[in-house]
Structures are given as structure tokens and as C-alpha cells.
Amino acid sequence: MFLGAMLHAGLALETLQQALAGLPLSGYHLELRPYTDKGIQGVYFDVQLLAQEQPTRHLSDIVALLHEAHIAPSVRTTALAVFRCLAEAEATVHGVSIDEVHFHEVGAVDAIVDIVGAAVAIETLGIAHLYASALPLTHGHVKTSHGLLPVPAPATLEILRRVQAPWQPRPVEGELVTPTGAALLATLAHFEIPPMHIEQVGYGFGKKQMPWPNCLRLCLGTSVAQAASSDVDTDWVTVIETNIDTMSGELFGGLMERLLQAGALDVSYTPIQMKKNRPAILLRVICMPQDSEALSYLLLRETSTLGVRMQQMQRRKAQRSMQQISTSLGPILVKIKRLGHRVISAAPEYEECQRLATEHQMPLADVYELARRAIAEAIV
């Protein structure tokens, strides 16, 4: 239904097929046809399997498959994040490690095509931000490889619990949010409806008959804020915080390195006073939402803290780029800050200045000054 809505909203089936041809998978056929339900017209999309028996895959198998695939790096990164989200939820539900999780339904060819196809759609349509409304909360049971499970399926509930997804009760029986769909939204979407100018609408239908049109509706458009000012980029990050007062100071240096290596965008330490006037450190980690679970677990495992605080925050960012310029000491990379087409500032990278200072046996401050003069002449 997710891909159906994308296809109805403008994604070309040929583009999707060409991208999926890069996967080392076979034994499936894509079906796309017009569909109408309760007077609403859209499309029905399905991944038809030529063989019903599917191999059981682990996360390591999926990772190897995606690294072998000839797909865009951004598509690979998105698909890996979705599968990791699924693996973490399954591991929690079944009380095993991520490496022990058996992907049954979500490791099958159709689920792999769904997830990679969704990443292709996001990339191809140039979707910078994805938002979702409240999800339909139904009741009943669903048949799985583990037997009958309550709806929402335990993995679905765990995935959406982690991102605080809102639910809207619906008086029907049956599964309307699958683990795959939950993982796509938890990884890619923010659960809110932003002010926007709607430019295109797509409807992707499912087979089940409901009292209402059984479809996923997609609205493509431009946010009001973006239309008002195209000079600023926006995205979402997770901020993780914890207060630490019982850990040796020399451990904090290594901890920062571990957090940055694990995907943190920034790590900072702030001296604070806690109850009974105890000196402590406020540790703050900024990361992409898909990395928050792994980084919070790292903090719980490798520090003395008993808990962490997590919240989603929106960022407004100037555009940044790297540019190589020439100096009398050799080429150097500088960071350019822009608002739209306007250059606001440019600064040399510390590592580059340190490299030149070491190579030429010069004071670092002198290299910085030389770099600034070269920037003033080269950057317009």
C-alpha cells in the first residue's frame, strides 16, 4: 500500500523495476493495476511470489544481501535502518540478541522488495521529510510463523512504542499495521501533520474490505515554512541526555570517541550540580533518530547511568559544503556556510590546518591565519 500510493503519486513503475533489478533476488513479479474502493480511485500494487517457500534469513543475511546489491548508497542506508529497526523489535519481543533473530515474514522476498522499494520511492521522488497521522488500532489475531498472535502484532507494537506513535481506535477486526509498515514509518516518518501546500495525492489500496476505503493516502507537497524560506534546511534529530556523578573523569574521553564512532552527530559534556550539591556531568548526545536506540543502549552499557532521557527535536540548518582552495602551503579543505545562494562564512578545517602545520613545522595559529587570507581571496 505504501508503494502503491507512491506509484499513484508519480513514481514510475519502470524506475522502481530498474532499481529493484540491482537486488540479488529473483522469483517475484510486480503487479500494478487501477483499483477503486467506495468510489475512490487509486492503484493496487502487489509483489507476487513465484515460489511460496521462502528461506529464513537473519539480519546478517539481509545486510550481506543489501551490500551485494547494485543500489544507490542512500537507498541501501535507508533499507538497512528499517531492517535494523525490525531486528531490534523482534529481539526485544523474543528475548534474544539481534543476531539470533529469525526473519520469517519480513525476510521473505516480498518484504525485502517492499522495504527497498520504499527507500527507492523516497529517493526518486525527492522526499526530504515524511509525516504520518495517527495509526488505526484494531483488534483480533493475525496468523504468523509463530502461530496466532494478537493485533497489533508484538513486533509492531514494540516498534511503534519506541517512537511514541499515536493510535486511533478502529472498531474492526484484523491487522491494518504490519511490522514492515510500522518499521517504515518508525524509521522514516514523524508522527505529526505539518502545514503544507499539497501538490499531488496518491492512493495505494489493500485487499481487505472495510467500512471505509482501505487505502493508504499520500500527499506530496511543500511545507509552508519551506515555501516561505528556501534558504534554510530542516530535519529531525534525537537528543539523548543523562546526568552522571559516579564515573571516573578519564573515562569520558574514550566514551566520546565510542559515541562518535557509533554514529553520534555531536557529544557534549556540561558541568552541573545535582542534589546534595554533588558535582556531576550532563552528557548530551545528538544523533539521527534511527541511531537513537543503539546509542542509548551504549550509554546504559558503558557508563554508570541508570537511565537516559530521549526527545525528538527539529533542526533548522544553513547549507554546508566542503571546498578545496589553494594556499602557499598547498591545497586545503574549507567548510562553506550558505543561506540559499549567499555565502555567510567560510572556515578552514582543524585537521587540515594541523596537517599543514606538521608538514611545514609551523605554529598552528600561523597556518590558520594563512588559510583565512586564502579563503578571503578564493571564496565569493
Give the per-residue pLDDT at 315: 82
Question: Which residue positions in the chain have pLDDT lower than 50?
Answer: 227-228
Show the cell assigned to 319. 547549507
Secondary structure (3-state) at 129: coil
Residue among 327, 334, 363, 328 at smallest CA distance from 349: 334
Top-level class of domain 233-317: alpha beta
**Phi and psi for 141 in degrees, rounded to 5?**
-135, 160
Give the per-residue pLDDT at 290: 85
Give the per-residue pLDDT at 103: 82
Alpha-carbon radius of gyration of the chain: 24
243: DSSP letter: E
All structural domains of the chain with their residue ranges: 2-228, 233-317, 319-378
> If you write DSSP's letter for every residue of 135-188 in order, what string do you get?
EEEEESEEEETTEEEESSPHHHHHHHHHTT--EEEEEEES-SS-HHHHHHHHHH
Query: Residues 188-222: pLDDT tens digits?
Result: 999 988 888 899 999 999 998 888 999 999 999 98
Distance CA 141, CA 175 (A): 7
Find out whether the peptide bond into 152 is cis, omega within 30 degrees of 0.
yes
Query: Residues 281-336: pLDDT tens digits?
Result: 999 999 998 888 899 999 999 999 999 999 888 888 888 888 888 889 988 888 88
Looking only at the bridges linking them, the beta strands covering 189-190 and 266-273 are unpaired
Distance CA 247, CA 237 (A): 27
Task: Return the exposure string of 97-136: e unless at least 16 CB atoms fall within 10 Å of the residue's CB, then b.
Answer: ebeebebbbbbbbbbbbbbbbbbbbbbbbeeeeeebeebb
325, 379 in Cβ contact below 8 A? yes
Secondary structure (3-state) at 33: strand
